[in-house]
């Protein structure tokens, strides 16, 4: 079967939490890890007096440009593009400074994604696709296809969605 | 009836041809007008020796930031937003430098458009909407809703689409 699959960027293709943790730990001499975030976002666990500064991190120039690539995605995504119609659908309006950084990041790491297949949007229910792979289940509201929840610390305890643990699970789901 | 309506930016909401003509006329001391473009784009009518420079215009900083607003849109769009679910769907990948300019332009002229309702995309068939108002009929290919062709010099002789002459026609179509 050939599907149209929309794939979220932050926390699915880009390891945004790794970037956020690394910035936080560096700035505050802390040692927070992914394991400290089960069921929570970074903003939920930092001390209240750090919150304001932490919230400015995604606004700092370069934040979205040098995020590490999610393990496994470099191998699986190009294969997915050959077999299916793949779009990258990413919320970019929260931090409008990130358009160019996100675009350049995609061009560097995933040249298999044509310009015409990149969508910067706010509400994701505007996307017409068979599947949306996303770490935020609220993006499935009103989406006409099937939402697949990509595993992330903050959604650890969420139920009621088909969950994809990692890119190997995406490979099994769509390329087996 | 309440519809989801996706609206293109260049040549529908933004008078991009006016901007392109003005730049061309200023640079080459010419006097081209909209009337010279019936059935053609600006790139079709300029002398061959000007073409290369004309094609760089949309890449110049500021090109998308100070485009004039299309007559009538300032009055009709806010009303449309109150009655329908309106998205702005604009191709931005051809000139990736334009993301921020297009975003800032929308924020200045159309504060009725929430961030969540802005979509920067390539292929528009990824848009899930009842209607797409666009001046390029190729954007209707694969679009699951109904395409409405917004009148522009380059599409003057195209047939087979419901045509909207101007923003007053949009008002009659969706607000009567």
- Window 63-92 of B: residues touching A by CB (8 A cutoff) are 87, 89, 92
Whether the Cβ atoms of residue B127 and residue A130 lie closer than 8 Å to each other: no
CA B120 to chain centre: 13
What is the CB neighbour count within 10 angstroms for residue A19?
20
* Torsion angles phi and psi, residue B132, rounded to 5: -130, 120
- Contact residues, chain B, for A146 at CB < 8 Å: none
**Mean pLDDT, each 10-residue run in order, chain A (176 residues):** 96 96 95 95 94 92 94 98 97 83 96 96 95 97 97 96 98 96
- Contact residues, chain A, for B117 at CB < 8 Å: 122-123
Does the distance separating the beta carbons of B115 and A119 come in below 8 Å? no
Q: Does B94 touch chain A (CB under 8 A)?
A: yes
pLDDT of residue A92: 84
pLDDT of residue B93: 81
Rounded CA-CA distance B77/B98 in Å is 22
Integer angstrom CA distances of residue A51 from A57, A85, B116: 10, 40, 25
Rounded CA-CA distance B10/B17 in Å is 8
pLDDT of residue A97: 75
Q: Report chain A's mean pLDDT, rounded to a whole number.
A: 95
Nearest partner of B121 among B2, B19, B8, judged by Cα: B8
Rounded CA-CA distance B130/B144 in Å is 8
pLDDT in tens, A78-112: 999 999 999 999 998 888 778 889 999 999 999 99
Rounded CA-CA distance A174/A80 in Å is 7
Work out whether the CA dihedral B150, B152, B158, B159 comes out positive or negative.
positive
* Predicted model pTM: 0.93
pLDDT of residue B95: 82
What is the CB neighbour count within 10 angstroms for residue A175?
12
Average pLDDT rounded to a whole number, residues B95-118? 92
Rounded CA-CA distance A134/A8 in Å is 5
Q: What was the ipTM of the complex prediction?
A: 0.89
pLDDT of residue B94: 81
pLDDT of residue A56: 92
Residue A82 three-state SS: helix
Of A92, A103, A128, the CB nearest to B128: A128
Of A94, A100, A144, the CB nearest to B128: A144
- Contact residues, chain B, for A119 at CB < 8 Å: 119-122, 126
């Amino acid at each position: 079967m050939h599907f149209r699959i929309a794939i979220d960027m932050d926390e699915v293709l880009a390891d945004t939490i790794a970037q956020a943790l690394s910035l936080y730990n560096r700035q505050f001499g802390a040692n927070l890890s992914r394991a400290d975030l089960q069921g929570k976002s970074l903003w939920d666990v930092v001390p209240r007096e750090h919150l304001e500064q932490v919230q400015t991190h995604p606004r700092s120039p370069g934040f979205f440009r040098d995020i590490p690539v999610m393990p496994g995605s470099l191998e699986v995504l190009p294969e997915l593009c050959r077999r299916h119609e793949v779009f990258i659908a990413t919320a970019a309006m929260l931090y409008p400074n990130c358009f160019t950084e996100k675009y350049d990041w995609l061009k560097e790491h995933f040249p298999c994604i044509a310009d015409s297949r990149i969508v910067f949007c706010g509400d994701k229910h505007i996307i017409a696709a068979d599947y949306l792979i996303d770490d935020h289940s609220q993006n499935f509201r009103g989406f006409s296809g099937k939402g697949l929840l990509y595993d992330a610390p903050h959604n650890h305890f969420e139920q009621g969605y088909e969950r994809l643990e990692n890119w190997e699970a995406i490979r099994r789901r769509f390329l087996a």
